[in-house]
């Protein structure tokens, strides 16, 4: 049974941890800003084949938002390992609340912090000349941000349930997030990749998230917004389900 109070308490705890760590917020903006400044401005005067006729800044920013969501969400699994290390996880596991409520509370906190991160990247991108197509597009983009962050928080929980130390988690996740990022089309049109490599891109959930963000914010997308949203919703449900199942099995063992 879902306990809304437990979900709220875990969400509030994540919010307090996030906003109290000012260095974490500033540090998490550094890499997106460097990508925008050096790649975006460096290639701003060049035509990008397959980019739908928009400038590179307009093409790049939705991909960098997707990258920010990916990193922020998938490393949310570190908080599980941190809590396990210092005993907090054991305390909440013996509380009279369901495992599903615990997973939903952590997911809600991770999604909210990822949304804040994505919106901050959008604000920073205006400094390098990015302009959104419409206010309605921003609202649609928020839906895609929620789906992307939910998907990769679920994936992070899967790995966190199998890996018991924080250093090992960080090392392994680096081997996961970078292929996901580079295969998503965040930096370049997927049509420029060899056909055999595009096959792997279609298996990457971030591919559909970035395409949806690009369609919502810029108006350039490979698929329709409905198709991207439907695929991302399916990935989100699947990964949260797998994360909850892995988490419950791990903590019950």
Angle at 63 between CA 142 and CA 224, to 5 degrees: 65
Residue whose C-alpha is closest to residue 36's, from 130, 109, 151, 102 = 130
Residue 251: what pLDDT?
A: 57
Of 247, 253, 252, the residue nearest 10 (C-alpha): 247
Write out the two tokens for 142.
């928020």
Across the chain, mean pLDDT equals 83
Q: Give the three-class secondary structure for 45.
A: coil
* Distance (Å, whole) CA 16 – CA 160: 22
Answer whether 241's CB lies under 8 Å from 154's CB.
yes
Q: Read off the pLDDT of residues 61-75 as tens digits, 9 standing for 90 and up.
A: 999 999 999 988 887
What is the predicted pLDDT for the residue at 45?
62
Confidence check: pLDDT of 241 > 70: yes
Domain with 171, as residue range(s), is 4-252
Residue 56: partners with Cβ closer than 8 Å, 6 or more residues away? 39, 40, 43, 44, 46, 48
Residue pointed to by tokens 């049974």: 1
pLDDT tens string 107-123: 888 899 889 889 999 98
- pLDDT of 52 above 80: no
Percent of the chain with pLDDT over 70: 89
Higher pLDDT, 158 or 248: 158
Lowest mean pLDDT among 89-98, 193-202, 242-251: 89-98
Residue 219 pLDDT grade (very low, low, confident, very high; cuts 50, 70, 90): confident
* Letter string b/e over residues 93-132, b meaning 16 or more CB atoms within 10 A of that residue's CB: beeebebbbbbbbbbbbbbbbbbbbbbbbbebbeeeebeb
How would DSSP label each residue in 77-100? HHHHHHHHHTTHHHHHHSSSS-HH
Determine the pLDDT at residue 93: 66
d(CA 192, CA 112): 34
pLDDT digits (tens, 9 = 90+) for 3-32: 778 788 888 888 888 887 777 777 777 888
Q: Which pLDDT tens digit goes with each residue over 53-63?
A: 678 888 889 99
Return the ∠ at Cα 158 (arms to 232 and 17), rounded to 5°: 90
Total tally of structural domains belonging to the chain? 1
Measured over the CA atoms of residue 244, residue 250, residue 251 and residue 252, the dihedral's sign is: positive
Residue 202 dihedral angles phi and psi, to the nearest 5°:
-70, -15
Q: What is the DSSP letter of 21?
A: -
User: 145-193: per-residue pLDDT in tens?
Assistant: 999 999 998 888 888 877 777 777 778 778 888 899 999 988 888 888 8
How far is it, in rounded angstroms, from Cα 216 to Cα 145?
11
Question: Model confidence at 40, in pLDDT bands (50, 70, 90)?
Answer: confident
Range scoring the smallest mean pLDDT among 198-202, 206-210, 242-246? 242-246
Counting Cβ atoms within 10 Å, is residue 223 exposed (0-12), middle (13-18) or buried (19+)? middle
């Amino acid at each position: 049974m879902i306990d809304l109070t437990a979900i709220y308490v875990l969400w509030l705890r994540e919010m307090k941890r996030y906003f109290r760590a000012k260095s974490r917020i500033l540090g998490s903006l550094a890499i997106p800003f460097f990508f925008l400044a050096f790649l975006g401005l460096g290639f701003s005067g060049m035509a990008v084949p397959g980019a739908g006729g928009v400038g590179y800044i307009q093409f790049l920013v939705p991909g960098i938002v997707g990258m920010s969501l990916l990193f922020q969400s998938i490393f949310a699994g570190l908080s599980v390992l941190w809590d396990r290390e210092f005993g907090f996880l054991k305390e909440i596991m013996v509380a009279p609340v369901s495992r599903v409520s615990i997973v939903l509370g952590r997911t809600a906190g991770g999604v909210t912090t990822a949304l804040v991160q994505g919106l901050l990247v959008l604000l920073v991108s205006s400094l390098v000349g990015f302009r959104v197509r419409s206010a309605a597009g921003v609202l649609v983009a928020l839906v895609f941000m929620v789906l992307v962050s939910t998907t990769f928080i679920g994936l992070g929980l899967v790995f966190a349930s199998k890996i018991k130390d924080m250093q090992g988690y960080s090392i392994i996740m680096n081997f996961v997030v970078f292929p996901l990022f580079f295969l998503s089309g965040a930096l370049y049109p997927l049509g420029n990749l060899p056909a055999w490599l595009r096959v792997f891109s279609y298996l990457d959930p971030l591919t559909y998230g970035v395409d949806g963000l690009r369609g919502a914010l810029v108006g350039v997308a490979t698929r329709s917004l409905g198709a991207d949203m439907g695929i991302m919703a399916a990935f989100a449900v699947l990964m949260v389900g797998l994360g909850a199942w892995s988490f419950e099995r791990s903590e019950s063992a």
